[in-house]
Homo-oligomer: A and B are copies of this chain.
Amino acid sequence: MFDSANFKHHISKPVFKREEGKLREALLGAQFDLKEQHRFPVLILIAGVEGAGKGETVNLLTEWMDPRHIHTSAFGNPSDEERERPANWRFWRALPPKGEIGVFFGAWHTMPIVQRVMGQIDEGEFSYAIGEIRRLEQMLCDEGVLLLKYWFHLSKAQQKKRLQSLEQDPDTSWRVTDVEWDYFKLYDKFIKVCDPFLRQTSTGQAPWIVVPGADPRYRALTVGRHLLAAMRERLDEKPSKLLPDKTPPLPAPADKVNVLSSLSLDQPMTRTDYKKQLEKWQGRLNRLSRDPRFKTLSVVVVFEGNDSAGKGGAIRRVTGALDARCYGNISVAAPTEEERAQPYLWRFWRHLPRQGRFAFFDRSWYGRVLVERIEGFCPEADWMRAYSEINDFEDSLIRHNTVVVKFWLAISKQEQLRRFKERKVVAFKRFKITEEDWRNRKKWGVYETAVCDMVDRTSTASAPWTLVEANNKYFARIKVLKTMCDALEQALERAEHKKKR
C-alpha cells in the first residue's frame, strides 16, 4: 500500500506559491457552497507515521479556509468523562454537522493499531476492531458524511532523517523525545500491522488516501487538491449518478401469532398488592444502585410502547427509587435543528451516562424503525440498515459495561380508547392527548408489524426486549421494576466475576 509513497517527491517553491493561490480560492469557494447547501458534513481523518507532516498540513488547511467552519479535534489520552463512556463517544461528540468540516487527528483507527503494535491486543481483538470500524464508517457514509481518510507516510529512511533534522534545529528539538525514537524502533512492526489494516478498512466509499509525507509542499498540494476535488464532486452531484436501492422487503407473517398477540395484556394486580410490591422492589433497586460494584457500570433504559401505555408513569416509579443525582431523563421528540444536521444516532450518543449513572430514554433510537418507518420520514434503505446499526450501537455500550434494558409497554386497542377518552375529560390529563395520537391510533396494524419486526431484529442475547403487559398499570410498573432489579443483579455479578479474574 505504501510503494509510491516511498518515492522522493518535490514541488518547488515558485510552483507551490502559484498553485497555492488558486487552490486556496477554490477551497474557500467549495467551503462556502458546503455551508450554503447545508446538505452534508465533511469529515477528514488524519493518520499515519510520526513526523510525516500531519500537523503542518492541517495547519495549512485551516489557514487556507474559513476557520469558523473547520473544526479540528486531536484525540490524545481520553479524559475521565470520555473513559467512562464507550470508546467512540468522544468521536461522536466531535462530529461536524452538515455544512461544516471536521478534522480528526488520530480517530478510531489509532487505538487498535497502537495496541496491536504493542502486543496489547491479539489478532482476534484486532479483527473485531477492524469490523467495528468498517461498520461505523459504512454508517457514516450511508448517513451522508463525506469521509476523507488521509494516511501520511514516510519510508523508514525518511522518518529517520526527519527526526534527526527536527532534533538538530533548536526551534524544533523539543518535538523529538525518547518517545519518538522508541516509536521509530517499531517502524517495521508498525508497517506490518498497518498494511492489512489499510487493506481491510479501505472501501469504495471511504478509501484510504496514502500521502507521501517527506516534502511539505508536495503533501500539502496532494491533500488540498484531493479535498477540493472530493468536495466539488459531491457539491456538484448530478442526478444521473444514482444507484438503485437494493433493500429487500421484510417477511409478512403467515399467521396472527406474534410477539404482541402472544401477550395476555390483562394481568391482575390490586392496588393494595401494588403498594406492597412497589415498596419492596423500589427498596431493592435502591440498594442495588448503592452497591459499591455499581460504580464500574452504567445503565441505559429504553421505554417504548403504544401511546398512553404508561411509559411516563413507569419511569417515575423507577426513578422514584433512585438518588436524583445518579440519573438523567431523556424525553425523545422530533430532533432539534442541531440534531438534524448530524447522523441519526448522534442525538442518543450525546446523552450516554457516565459510570455509576442511569439514563432513562422515554422513546429512543427505535423511532427510526417505528415512527420514521411508518410515516415515511426516511427511505426504506435507511430504516432497514438501522436494525444492524442499532445492534452495533448497543453492542458497543455493552462492551463498555453498560447495562441495556429495553421495555415495550403494550396495551390493547380497547384500553387505549378508554385512556384517550379519559384524558379528554380529566383536566390535568388533557395536555397528554393530541390529534396526532388519534392519527397514530388509525395505524394500529402497521405499528404492530413494525414493533414485531423491531423485536425480532433487535432482541439480542445481551440486550433483549422485555415486553410488558400494560393494560393494568400496577402490574406493568412492578414488572418494569423487577426486570430492572434482575438486570442489575446479573450485571453486578458479572462485574465482580470480571474483577476476580
By a beta-carbon cutoff of 8 Å, the part of chain A in contact with chain B is 1, 3-5, 7-11, 122-128, 130-131, 134, 141, 144, 146, 148, 191-192, 195-196, 199-200, 202-207, 209-211, 218, 221-222, 225-226, 229-230, 233-234, 237, 241-255, 257-259, 262, 379, 381, 384-388, 391, 395, 452, 455-457, 459-461, 464-465
Contact = CB atoms under 8 A, between A and B. Distances in A.
A140 to B, nearest CB: 11
Contacts of A131: 127, 130-131, 134, 200
A228 to B, nearest CB: 10
Given A253-B222, A455-B4, A456-B1, A246 B141 contact: yes
A1 B458 CA distance: 6
B202 A387 contact: yes
A379 B191 CA distance: 32
Q: Report copies per complex.
A: 2
Nearest to A149: B248
A28 B246 CA distance: 22
A472 to B, nearest CB: 23
Lowest 10 CB-CB distances: which A-B pairs, in order? A124-B124, A204-B385, A242-B242, A226-B251, A221-B254, A204-B384, A127-B127, A195-B461, A127-B128, A230-B248
Contacts of A387: 202, 204, 207
A212 to B, nearest CB: 9
B251 A209 contact: yes
Contact of A252 (B225, B237, B384): B225
Contact of A8 (B210, B237, B257, B465): B257
Given A204-B388, A230-B249, 18 more contacts: A1-B459, A3-B464, A4-B258, A4-B259, A8-B257, A9-B255, A11-B254, A124-B127, A148-B248, A199-B388, A200-B388, A202-B391, A205-B385, A226-B252, A229-B252, A241-B244, A243-B245, A243-B381
Contacts of A244: 237, 241-243
Contacts of A130: 131
B226 A395 contact: no
A209 B250 contact: yes
Nearest to A124: B124
Contacts of A259: 3-4, 7
